Amino acid sequence: MSPILYIKPGCPWCVEVENHLRREGIRYERVDVSRDRDGMKAMLEISGQTKAPTLDWDGKVLADFGVDELIPFLRKLGR
């Protein structure tokens, strides 16, 4: 299962996170919650909030974060 990254266009943290994931060669499904009502609902259900970015990696969720929080999260996952 590919990780799911919930983003909002224009969000600087979302841009940084996407750039980092690309640099690391990590494939992910991108969900623009500003255009996808079901995506927003899913993000809210898994994280309890509406802030982006939110990453769902096989049930492990990192919400409202930047690259500084992403790096240790990925390390814990062995990435």
Segment 49-53 shows an average pLDDT of 96
Dump the DSSP string for 6-55. Answer: EE-TT-HHHHHHHHHHHHTT---EEEETTT-HHHHHHHHHHHSS--S-EE
Arch. (CATH architecture) of 4-76: 3-Layer(aba) Sandwich (3.40)
**What are the structure tokens assigned to 70, written together?**
């992403």
d(CA 63, CA 49): 8
**What are the structure tokens assigned to 15, written together?**
């841009």
pLDDT tens-digit series, residues 23-40: 999 999 999 999 999 999
Instruction: Measure Cα distances from 71 to 3, 21, 33, 35, 79 in Å.
Output: 15, 10, 23, 28, 9
pTM for this structure?
A: 0.95
